[in-house]
A and B are shown apart, each in its own frame.
Chain A
């Protein structure tokens, strides 16, 4: 196919490299250096999508970040990505893209019926129409709106691409490489500052690439290339293209997204697709330039209507004509530059200038070139449905209110210039209080709140000379402040054409009897009439008008629509624009892919995975793992075809009859040393700790200051001033912080040090009636007899040459021990226990069996210590000292905590001794009571009791102490279960605790 709109010798594209690509199934050709937009335009393709609400045909409006229409679904390297701007996507060989928001095709769109129903779709339409009847919302309205309103389709596949995060510090971050960005980067770099220069597009230079200017006897483009080449060589400068600074956060932290590989057909090996930069800058220079404003007229969304600056960019950079019969509609001199470019390339444009008699160098040049200029003329409406075919134009009166006779002229595109809007997004995000500049009818940055300065067009400065001058000076002054250097660069001679003032005209009145849609927000289909309705209905605050009409709320965030919206509100309200004020700019400036935001923290990389030193053994022995916080723990060890239930029952049974071993490395461990260590424990735990002898362990419960149980565990006195604390796996980090808080801030007089040793020790729990016999074989030189190592005793032992700590503590309720060795010896220990344990029928057991064992013993754990219970609730009131004070004690006297019918942990057994009770079920008195059925408590943990071979659960039940023996119902509406149950003691097995002491 011929690129019939491509000029032969114009543009910065690489004509030696022809690329093929597909759009909506059709193959086209473009060149390396094209964007998808420029390549489509070169092929004369203007119809790209359908609009959001009315499904009107839409084409290209801009040539970059400001594009409201040209959003496509992109297919690259087997992946698909929605909502890519065709004006930003660089062309690569084999690129495939399709339109979004149209069905069945862009040329015939069923949703376009909305266009003919538009009279029924005014502002606030969704709010009004879909409110009634209420029952229709979920089933009918909501799915319909979702389907109709969607943009692209997100892939549901795993993204194979890699995204990176990078952290960087610099003296000056410069956002934008146009004239002000280049000048300031150059001046600061020459003055020794560490500079990062970020350019959103692939080419550096900004408007210098498309303007007829001279700097230091070079063309703007040559000067830009020279400066960039020099900057790239400097060690103190980082120059980045395809990199957009999109967010300005607190304390001069800026975030930039670098599109590393999006312009390539495939990502190179070891390269990321995109990279997110977190940059902490001492000073920020915002040189983001400005965006051309549209003038509002009838059907101004027709494909072929676009910004005049975009037409110029397509021509100058890509050698593409957006039309061969262009109509330029302008209120300022910028439109003339585009017209002159057309003329110089053999195309005859017509200029409609809203001004009566502008006098400037540029206007003179256009006149001399013989361009057809109509002064005091406006476009009333674009004609054509899928593409501009002609335009209704008319003379406009001096007061800009009355139209003359309407004439129709042929044209194939309308290039609009309504003057320039500074890009103040980053400044506004930084907290800068922006102010309205009457001369340019736009907001510019005002007083800075952080270390930022806006330069050039972004600051409302539209002449090159002034821009370069202020940029050189500002960058020199700022860099001097940081580096103390004083190297000044001589200011180059600047030649540019002088322009005259613009016309404040921005909206063409409707001719009598016509009600053309005049769009303000192109992506969200917000027209002049919508704003009028919103105001008629009483919306006044611009923030409310925005939300009611969705003006400026599309993915382009109103880059081309905000100011015209404000103009309209101020006109209707008869206020000045600054009195209306603008809505708040928030990051990101431009959509950022979720992949880039997430970076490498995907799947298993989203948090660290901790494995115990015995992990490989577990793996080899068919362990099925479960996530326990960041740890991977064996849940059960599968034998043959066993399922979870069968395996855990077997493992638990073996602990009750023989001996089992469980990996308890994950328990939190804190080493506590110092003369006041005992005193600290006495204040932290609810029970007494001052008299714990050396070589003894004690179980303790700690509270938060509000009386709620924070954690439990055993702490062992290793020597006079040395304790070993254990915490639950989940609370390990919080308990350490908790201790540090009290030691550093509340009781700094206590001479104690705490440090986490969780990863330093590997732990194995050996539990079961045969555990002592096994232990004796493991430690033949130690006296582990009932007397030698009594319940809650501690000793050090020699495990075949490895130093070990032996604790006689039990979670399973059986005679049990816990052996700790240094982590490096963990696997050795484990294998020895298994090897020696064979004689005693040892089996490893996982967390599921561990839970079964503790539940039927009535030992509370995380599901009861859930941040809502006090010691009494967990039947731990016996551990609460009446004599001494401790953290949270005062709270226990609260009325609710001492109520007679206070909740308490109980046991629950189904009457049929068969039906398993789902965790989380409710306990009620009457299963047939009307809703809401009063809830008496909830099931916190359930198991199959291996001791009695029936289901058993723990529950937190209101007035639990008086409920033992009562019959209640367990209800699980989620599982549709009603189970009659009996309330029993939570200590279901061995209630006197004889086994642990045996």
Chain B
């Protein structure tokens, strides 16, 4: 079971969190005219990376905040965690 550092609450066990997918995906702006391809990329197309990956988790059974977690998908090593409003550098 992973040990995830919530930037609001500190180290917590994985079972308090739920996974939310790739954190680098940006939702297209509202009312913007975009191509089918752009929209499909946003809704469906995800890279299944091996290695370092920024992803979203929600601290569901804690502060309910969505956070960004940099995790190695192969080793589960966690390098960094950020609040929702902090930018991935």
* Bound Cα distance A741, B39 (Å): 19
A637 to chain B, nearest CB (A): 36
The chain B residue with its CB closest to the CB of A890 is: B39
Residues of B within 8 A of A740 (CB): 58, 64, 66
Q: A251-B2, A251-B3, A278-B1 are in contact. Are A741 and B66 (CB under 8 A)?
A: yes
A706 interface residue per 8 A CB criterion: yes
Are A705 and B65 in touch, CB under 8 angstroms?
no
Tell whether A250 is near chain B: CB-to-CB under 8 Å: yes
- Evaluate whether A748 and B58 lie within 8 angstroms (CB atoms) in the complex, with A249-B1, A449-B75 already known: no
Q: Do A737 and B58 form a contact, CB below 8 Å, given A431-B75, A745-B66, A890-B34?
A: yes
| Residues of A with C-beta under 8 A to B78 | 251
Select one of B2, B13, B43, B58 contacting A705, CB under 8 A. Answer: B43
Which B residues are CB-close (under 8 A) to A249?
A: 1
Report the minimal beta-carbon distance from A631 to chain B, rounded to whole angstroms.
19
Inside 8 A of A744's CB, which chain B residues have their CB? Answer: 65-66, 84-85
Cβ of B79 under 8 Å from chain A: no
Assess whether A891 is interfacial by the CB under 8 Å rule: yes
Once the chains bind, are A891 and B43 in contact (CB under 8 Å)? yes
A885 beta carbon closer than 8 Å to chain B? yes
Contact pattern, B 65-80, Cβ under 8 Å of A = 1, otherwise 0? 1100000000110100
A730 within 8 Å of B by Cβ? no
Contacts of A885 in B (CB 8 A): 30-31
A280 at the interface (CB under 8 A from B): yes
Which B residue's beta carbon lies closest to that of A683?
A: B30
Cβ 8 A contact of B1, one of A251, A683, A745, A746: A251
A706 to B84, CA, bound (A): 23
Give the residues from 12 to 71 in chain B that come closer than 8 angstroms, CB to CB, to chain A.
13, 18, 20, 27-28, 30-31, 34, 39, 42-44, 56, 58, 60, 64-66
Is B56 touching A745 in the complex (CB atoms < 8 A)? yes
In the complex, what residue of chain B is closest to A740 when comparing beta carbons? Answer: B64
For A278-308 the 0/1 string (1 means CB < 8 A from B) is 1010000000000000000000000000000
Q: What's the least CB distance linking A721 to chain B, in Å? A: 21
Partner of A737, one of B3, B18, B27, B28: B18
How many residues on B have C-beta within 8 angstroms of the other chain's C-beta atoms? 26
A618 to B66, CA, bound (A): 39
Query: Restricting to A727-743, which residues have a CB under 8 Å from any CB of B?
Result: 737, 740-741
Asked if A253 and B18 sit within 8 Å, CB to CB, the answer is no
Number of A-B contacts (CB under 8 A): 52
* Residues of chain B contacted by A748 (CB below 8 angstroms): 84-85
Inside 8 A of B65's CB, which chain A residues have their CB? 744
Q: Contact between B76 and A250 (Cβ–Cβ < 8 Å)?
A: yes
Cβ A746 vs Cβ B27 within 8 A: yes
- In the complex, the chain B residue whose C-beta lies closest to that of A888 is B43
Least distance between A734 CB and chain B CB atoms (Å): 10
Assess the A891–B39 pair: CB atoms within 8 A: yes
For the complex, what is the distance from the CA of A741 to the CA of B27, rounded to whole Å?
12
Is B84 a contact partner of A737 (Cβ separation < 8 A)?
A: no
A interface residues, tally (CB under 8 Å): 23
B58 contacts A253, C-beta separation under 8 Å: no
Whole-angstrom CA separation of A449 from B77 in the bound complex: 10
**A683 contacts across to B, CB distance below 8 A:** 30
Evaluate contact between A251 and B76: CB separation under 8 angstroms. Answer: yes
Q: Is the CB of B42 within 8 A of A705?
A: yes
Closest to A449 in B: B75
The residues of B that contact A891 with a CB separation of less than 8 Å are: 39, 43
Residues of chain A with a CB closer than 8 A to B84's CB: 744-745, 748
Whether the Cβ atoms of A280 and B42 lie closer than 8 Å is no
- Report the separation of the CA atoms of residues A253 and B2 in the bound assembly, to the nearest whole angstrom: 8
Q: Are B20 and A741 in contact (CB under 8 A)?
A: yes
**How far, in Å, is A672 (CB) from chain B's closest CB?**
15
Q: How far is the CB of A429 from chain B (nearest CB, A)?
A: 13
Closest CB in chain A relative to B24 CB, distance in Å: 12
Distance from A894 Cβ to chain B, minimum over Cβ atoms (Å)? 8
Closest A residue to B85 using CB positions: A748
Most buried by B among A249, A251, A706, A748: A251
Tell me, in angstroms, the Cα distance from A250 to B74 when the chains sit together. 11
- Complex Cα gap A658–B62 (Å): 47
Which B residues lie within 8 Å of A252 (CB)?
Answer: 3
Task: Provide the A239-256 mask, 1 if CB < 8 A to any CB of B, else 0.
Answer: 000000000011111000
Identity of the chain A residue whose Cβ is nearest the Cβ of B65 in the assembled complex? A744
Query: Smallest CB-CB separation from B83: which chain A residue?
Result: A744
Q: How far is the CB of A727 from chain B (nearest CB, A)?
A: 16
A376→B28 CA distance, assembly (Å):
80
Give the residues from 385 to 408 in chain A that come closer than 8 angstroms, CB to CB, to chain B: none
Contacts of B66 in A (CB 8 A): 740-741, 744-745
Are B43 and A706 touching (Cβ within 8 A)? yes
Are A737 and B1 in contact, with the CB atoms below 8 A?
A: no
* Inter-chain contacts of A706 with B (CB < 8 A): 43-44
Bound complex: CA A740 to CA B20 (Å): 12
| A residues 775-812 touching B (CB-CB < 8 Å) | none
CB pair A250 B58 closer than 8 Å: no
Give the one of B28, B30, B58, B84 with max A CB within 10 A: B30
Contact with B along A422-453 (1 / 0, CB 8 A): 00000000010000000000000000010000
Smallest CB separation, B70 vs chain A (Å): 15
CA distance A683 to B56 in the complex (A): 22
Q: A346 to nearest B CB, angstroms?
A: 54
Q: How far does the Cβ of A686 sit from chain B's closest Cβ, in whole Å? A: 13
Interface string of A650-686 (1 = CB under 8 A from B): 0000000000000000000000000000000001000
Q: Which residues of B contact A250 (CB under 8 A)?
A: 1-3, 76
20 interchain pairs, CB-CB under 8 A:
A250-B3, A250-B76, A251-B1, A251-B3, A251-B76, A278-B1, A280-B3, A280-B13, A449-B75, A706-B44, A737-B58, A741-B20, A741-B58, A744-B84, A745-B56, A746-B27, A748-B84, A885-B30, A885-B31, A890-B39
6 nearest A-B residue pairs (beta carbon): A251-B3, A885-B30, A744-B84, A250-B76, A885-B31, A744-B66
Mark B residues whose CB is within 8 Å of A.
1-3, 13, 18, 20, 27-28, 30-31, 34, 39, 42-44, 56, 58, 60, 64-66, 75-76, 78, 84-85
List 20 additional A-B contacts (Cβ < 8 Å) besides A250-B1, A741-B58, A748-B85: A249-B1, A251-B1, A252-B3, A253-B3, A253-B13, A705-B27, A706-B44, A737-B60, A740-B64, A740-B66, A741-B66, A744-B84, A745-B56, A745-B84, A746-B27, A748-B84, A885-B30, A885-B31, A890-B34, A891-B43
